[in-house]
Amino acid sequence: MPDEIGLFEAIDTQRGLRQFKPDPVPDEMITRLLRAAIKAPSGGVRQGWSFIVIRDEETRRKIGDLYRTGSRFDIRDDMSTQQRRVYRRAQHLEDHMEDVPVFILACIEGGPGGPVSGASIYPAVQNILLAARGLGLASVLTTRQSRFEPEIKDILGIPENVTTAAILPIGFPAEGVRYGPTRRRPLEEVAFDGHWGNTWKTEAE
């Protein structure tokens, strides 16, 4: 296992990495990600989550086939440069799904879109992303498996009352792909002090 990094370094530099080395990921690392996942909160501590680790080549190929035949990202000129870059990378990932050494498919009991179910699985998903950052593994949150929900459930034998929430591709980052600071809307724009519109004042950083 690599040396541990600080919590805030992990939070500040966890960005979507979508290109992977083909090398396998040691089981102990995957177990560490899963242990991080199950520490997350869930409504009423129900923990209706399940995580399927997918490494088998045939299964990855079947999932890759689904993505290749599915709808493509709509990348338009009126989008920001950042958005277009993200969508291009996301499309590249979907065109090469079976080359990813590991997927973790996060599932939650209950129907899709319920008010509680998403809030009870995405904290666990975020824990996996942060733990991957901590271990130097590449990953990104993806949700477009929902286009193939019945097919994926069939391939993996997922029970009827369980919904797929996210697929996290996992692997060592490809050459030249690395974690780093993320770009976000500034705090002054999105954080208020006591009342909508009262900008939260930050100390000079």
Ligand X SMILES: Cc1cc2nc3c(=O)[nH]c(=O)nc-3n(C[C@H](O)[C@H](O)[C@H](O)COP(=O)(O)O)c2cc1C
Angle at 115 between CA 13 and CA 34, to 5 degrees: 45
Q: Is 19 in the site for ligand X (CB under 6 A)?
A: no
Q: Please, which residue, 42 or 142, has the CB nearer to ligand X?
A: 142
Stretch that binds ligand X, among 4-12, 52-60, 86-94, 95-103 (CB under 6 A): 86-94
Selected from 18, 32, 60, 62, the binder of ligand X by CB under 6 A is: 18
Residue among 109, 110, 112, 106 at smallest CA distance from 129: 106
Residues in 26-45 at the binding interface with ligand X, rule: CB under 6 A? none
Selected from 16, 114, 123, 136, the binder of ligand X by CB under 6 A is: 16
Q: Please, which residue, 185 or 195, has the CB nearer to ligand X?
A: 185
> Which residue type, as a one-letter code, is found at position 162?
V
Q: How far apart are CA 42 and CA 40, in angstroms?
A: 7
Stretch that binds ligand X, among 4-12, 23-31, 38-46, 136-144 (CB under 6 A): 136-144
Residue among 22, 24, 20, 26 at smallest CA distance from 1: 26
Q: Is 84 in the site for ligand X (CB under 6 A)?
A: no
Q: CB-based burial of residue 51 (10 Å sphere; 0-12 exposed, 13-18 middle, 19+ buried)?
A: buried
In the complex, the residues that contact ligand X under the rule CB under 6 A are: 15-16, 18, 86, 90, 93, 140-144, 182
